[in-house]
Amino acid sequence: MGSFHVGCKVENHVDRSKSVRIPKVLVDTGSEPTWLPAAKLEQIGVRREKKDVQFVMANGQHVTRSVGFAIIRVDKYFTIDEVVFAEPGDLLLLGARTLEGLNLAVDPARKKLVALAPCRSREPGEKMINEKPVARFAPRVSCSFDVSAPPRIGRHGMPSSRVSS
C-alpha cells in the first residue's frame, strides 16, 4: 500500500485561539491513537489528562506516554480526539480513531485521504441491511448465542459463534 503524510492543524479544545500547524504527520491506520509532538501540544496548552499510559510500538517495544484532548483539522475536516504526547524519536502519526472522527478514509492508489459518504440516520422502526433501508415494519429477527457450548474454530482459525434463531 505504501505510506504518505499529511499536514494538520491542532487546536486547544478549551481555547481554540491557541493552535499550531504540524506540517508532516504519517497517516497510519494501524495506529489507534494520533501521536503529536509533546512540545507543540504543551505550546498550545493541551493538558496531560491521562499519565503513564502504556503503548506497544510496531517494533514490539513498550513505552509510556501521556494523553490529552485536542481538536485536529485536516483541510476542511475536524474532530476532537485523544492525542498522545509524542517524545523526540517517536513517529508523528494520524491514527485510525482520528481518521474515523474526521470521516476520512485512505485512498491507497492515490496516497491521499478521501471523504466518506455522510452517515445517514435511521427513521424510528426502520431496519438497515447492507446500508440500504428496509421496510419500516419488517418482522423482528432475534438471535441467541449458546454461551454454554465450547467455542468453535472457524475455517480461518478464528473462534466463531453458534447462532440459533
Q: 108 or 145: which carries more pLDDT confidence? A: 108
Task: Give the pLDDT of residue 129.
Answer: 57
pLDDT at 163 over 80: no
pLDDT at 132 over 70: no
CB 40 within 8 A of CB 10: yes
- Domain chopping of the chain, boundaries: 5-115
**5-115, which class in CATH?**
mainly beta
* pLDDT at position 102: 96
Give CB contacts under 8 A, 24+ apart, made by 58-64. 58/30, 63/90
| DSSP SS3 for 92 | coil
Tens digits of residue pLDDT in 56-104: 988 899 999 999 999 999 999 999 999 999 999 999 999 999 999 999 9
- Per-residue model confidence (pLDDT) at position 130: 55
Q: How many of the other CB atoms lie within 10 Å of CB of 22?
A: 19
118-131 pLDDT, tens digit each: 766 666 766 655 55
Nearest CA to 94 out of 38, 11, 34 is that of 34
Beta bridge partners, 55, equal 63
Q: Could you read off the pLDDT of 5-20 as tens digits, one per residue?
A: 999 999 999 999 999 9
The closest of 88, 84, 82, 86 to 100, measured between CA atoms, is 82
Residue-level pLDDT at 117? 80
